[in-house]
Homo-oligomer: A and B are copies of this chain.
Amino acid sequence: MSGPFEKLEVMAPVRIWDGIRAREMTGDGVTFAVVELDGGSTVPEHRHPNEQLGMLISGSMTFRIGNETRELGPGDTWNIPGDVPHEVHAGPDGAVVAEVFAPRRDDWAALDRDQPGVPRWPV
């Protein structure tokens, strides 16, 4: 990063899952990511040692954390301790979320990236 400020459209999105990509900032101890989910896309059940806290910004999705499942809309939040299994199903119009991972997701460096482009949000 060239300075302390950045716009989403200049960040190269990393391909996390099929139909799901993240523009991220990396700190010393955290990754702050804006994750876009295409309509109907799925984050299959998985877990990671990183804790994961986030909020839905736009769209809708169904989120399962451990044994709890919720239908989420803008302003709904989640707080996932490390190693707790979770999965997501995006609504028909997709979703955009802001999330933080700690420790940071250095494992994303191995994933493919798209070229920078216009984000799904803001519209």
Residues of A near any B CB (own CB < 8 A): 1, 3-9, 25-30, 32, 34, 51, 53-55, 57, 63, 65-66, 68, 70, 72-82, 84, 98, 100, 102-103, 119, 121-122
Contact = CB atoms under 8 A, between A and B. Distances in A.
Contacts of A4: 65-66, 68, 78-80, 84
Given A102-B28, A102-B29, A5 B70 contact: yes
As for how many copies of this chain the complex holds, the number is 2
7 smallest beta-carbon distances between A and B, as pairs:
A32-B53, A74-B122, A4-B65, A100-B100, A98-B98, A29-B102, A27-B51
Contacts of A66: 4
Nearest to A23: B77
Given A25-B53, A55-B98, A76 B30 contact: no
A88 B53 CA distance: 24
Given A77-B5, A79-B25, A80-B4, A100 B34 contact: no
